[in-house]
Amino acid sequence: MQLSVVGSGYVGTTIAACFADLGHNVVNIDIDQEIVDTINDGEAPIHEDGLAEMIAKHAGPESTGRLRATTDYEEVLNTELTFLCLPTPANDDGSIDLSIMKAGAEQLGETLVEKNERHNVVVKSTVVPGTTEDTIAPLVAETGGKRLGDDLGVGMNPEFLREGSAVADFLDPDKVVLGADDDRTREQMGNVFAPLVERADDPPVVETATREAEMMKYANNAFLASKVSLANDLGNICKEHGVDMYEVADAMGLDERIARSFLNSGLGWGGSCFPKDTAAIIAAAESKRYDAPMLNAATEVNDRQPQRFLDLLDKHVDAEGKRIAVLGLAFKPGTDDIRNTRAVPVIDGLIHRGADVIAHDPVAVENMRDRYPDIEYASSVSEALEDANACLVVTDWDQYKVLDEEFDRMETPIVLDGRHCINRREGITYEGLTW
């Protein structure tokens, strides 16, 4: 099929490259010329495992040519179905900011004026229940002069991929959700996903309406974020009683009603989605006069963890004028994304204490430099630890899990672990946040 994907961010670029790999012809539209040029050169604009190889295979010189990028919306005219993968950030009050989605939908509609055959538009972005039906569909229909359900089909297909494993997650999903308010659109969405369903060995395909599809995404993220927060709440109790939460979590996870995943306690959740999506669904609930006590509590626990980590540091060392190493800046391993990373409140706390901060991350340094141009950045862990008075582990990169004699370079080897990823050993003072 001929597909267009609007937005070349973490989701848009990943699904555009994967759909090309699955045999579709895909044009990826973005307003950022640099991103477009990068893709057309056969390179990945973001750091994701396997993405660079896939883009090289389908875009750029000597590729299959099944993937192209452009800034020109007119290119949607040669396609049958468009995915909208635009950002849905939070307003200051936490509610969803739909301005970018609306701008994209309007631009799409204006372009579709020139198309005579039916076109399908699928919202891939995370949007609060009712957005597709009440905002996006009427906007595309009005600006495009289309009749909804007739020459325009609008659907909603939430995305569950994780950053750091985006390609693998997209190609091998736990479920595919196809939300549409008419059968023709849902059927066409099914055709787009047919090669993926076949390659992924038949994952469950949930066919539903757009509002339910939208809510399934929020429910998923709210549940996972709350699960981590509950693990952190329990972990904080464990710490006060000298109990190792990781041993407790391992045992809890043996109960198949609970499962071990997302019970890793520590610094809590960051990233581009859990924080904004929990805030958006809380705000959406409040707009209907429901105050969502569980989700508010999950957010409160999460917001407190960096402060508890800094309290732990204060217990061991007065950071003023001391050299403090921060290992890990990305919000999780496997990505260069620093949106809502826990490293920010930790570094803010260190700066507030008058510490000399020296930070390390395998891939996220350049992104962090914009935010903190004045702290020191080390090109290796050894360099970061050299003469340090304490080390704070913020992101659980694999390369930190094997650290050993590197700690001998420290002035005082105080190692505080926010992610349960450092091996305790003789000669270092080690303390974990919840164990």
Ligand X SMILES: O=C(O)[C@H]1O[C@H](OP(=O)(O)OP(=O)(O)OC[C@H]2O[C@@H](n3ccc(=O)[nH]c3=O)[C@H](O)[C@@H]2O)[C@H](O)[C@@H](O)[C@@H]1O
Ligand Y SMILES: NC(=O)C1=CN([C@@H]2O[C@H](COP(=O)(O)OP(=O)(O)OC[C@H]3O[C@@H](n4cnc5c(N)ncnc54)[C@H](O)[C@@H]3O)[C@@H](O)[C@H]2O)C=CC1
Is the Cβ of residue 77 or residue 243 nearer to ligand Y in the bound state?
A: 77
Question: Is 312 labeled as ligand-binding?
Answer: no
DSSP per residue, 136-188? IHHHHHHHHT--BTTTEEEEE------TTSHHHHHHS-S-EEEEESSHHHHHH
Least distance to ligand Y from the beta carbon of 372, Å? 21
Q: Which two tokens stand for residue 157?
A: 């297909």
Give the count of alpha carbons within 13 A of 305, CB side only: 32
Question: Is 332 labeled as ligand-binding?
Answer: yes
Is the Cβ of residue 274 or residue 397 nearer to ligand X in the bound state?
A: 274
Phi-psi region of 281 (alpha: psi -120 to 50; beta: other; left: phi over 0): alpha
Do residues 221 and 273 touch, judged by C-beta distance below 8 A?
yes
Q: What residues contact 341, with CB distance under 8 A and at least 6 apart?
A: 270, 271, 329, 330, 331, 364, 394, 395
Least distance to ligand Y from the beta carbon of 38, Å? 11
- Of 18, 85, 238, 273, which is the active-site residue? 273
Is the Cβ of residue 160 or residue 430 nearer to ligand X in the bound state?
A: 160
Do residues 47 and 28 touch, judged by C-beta distance below 8 A?
no
Is the Cβ of residue 331 or residue 377 nearer to ligand X in the bound state?
A: 331
Q: What residues contact 19, with CB distance under 8 A and at least 6 apart?
A: 3, 5, 26, 192
Q: Which residues bind ligand Y (CB under 6 A)?
A: 6-12, 29-32, 35, 85-88, 100, 103-104, 107, 125-126, 159, 161, 163, 272-273
Question: Is 289 labeled as ligand-binding?
Answer: no
Do residues 25 and 35 touch, judged by C-beta distance below 8 A?
no
Least distance to ligand Y from the beta carbon of 327, Å? 23
Do residues 45 and 35 touch, judged by C-beta distance below 8 A?
yes
Q: Which does 264 bind (CB under 5 to 8 A by kind): ligand Y, ligand X, none?
A: ligand X
Q: Which does 263 bind (CB under 5 to 8 A by kind): ligand X, ligand Y, none?
A: ligand X
Do residues 203 and 173 touch, judged by C-beta distance below 8 A?
yes
Least distance to ligand Y from the beta carbon of 134, Å? 17
391 has catalytic annotation = no
The length of the chain in residues reads: 435
Is the Cβ of residue 28 or residue 305 nearer to ligand Y in the bound state?
A: 28
Pairing of strands 152-156, 119-123: parallel
Question: Is 299 labeled as ligand-binding?
Answer: no
Question: Is 185 labeled as ligand-binding?
Answer: no
Question: Is 88 labeled as ligand-binding?
Answer: yes
Q: Which two tokens stand for residue 98?
A: 């739909």
Question: Is 268 labeled as ligand-binding?
Answer: no
Q: Which residues bind ligand X (CB under 6 A)?
A: 126, 159-163, 221, 224, 228, 262-264, 266, 268-274, 331-332
Least distance to ligand X from the beta carbon of 318, Å? 28
Binding residues for NAD(+): 30, 88, 126, 163, 276, 339
**Binding-site residues for substrate, please?**
160-163, 217, 262-266, 270, 332
- Catalytic residues, by residue number, are 273
Q: Which residues are annotated as a binding site?
A: 30, 88, 126, 160-163, 217, 262-266, 270, 276, 332, 339
